[in-house]
């Protein structure tokens, strides 16, 4: 989950779903979650204090353009997320394939 769901869960916007889609793609491509959760760690603390690991750090065979889009979608802070709509995220992914 992105930080926004911890800090402002009552007022999260639809873009948290785009973050979740990017996290799902990340998991499918790497077999692991975007953030590292040490054993016995406090999940809320990890989410609120760390950024996702760049996807190519987990699987360097992922094409750079796709990695850039996924990493951009997963960058979060307390204020906002990169992609605001699913269409915007889709378009960024499609440009990776020349569409």
pLDDT digits (tens, 9 = 90+) for 85-96: 899 999 999 998
What integer pLDDT is reported at residue 10 of this predicted model? 65
What integer pLDDT is reported at residue 52 of this predicted model? 92
What integer pLDDT is reported at residue 37 of this predicted model? 87
How large is the angle between the packed helices 64-74 and 86-95, nearest 10 degrees? Answer: 160
pTM: 0.84
């Amino acid at each position: 989950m992105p930080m926004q769901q911890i800090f402002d869960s009552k007022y999260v916007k639809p873009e948290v779903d785009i973050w979740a889609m990017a996290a799902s793609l990340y998991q499918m491509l790497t077999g692991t979650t975007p953030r590292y959760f040490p054993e016995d760690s406090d999940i809320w603390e990890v989410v609120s204090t760390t950024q996702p690991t760049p996807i190519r750090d987990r699987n360097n065979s992922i094409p750079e353009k796709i990695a850039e889009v996924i990493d951009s979608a997963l960058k979060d802070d307390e204020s906002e997320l990169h992609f605001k709509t699913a269409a915007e995220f889709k378009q960024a992914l499609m440009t990776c394939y020349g569409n």
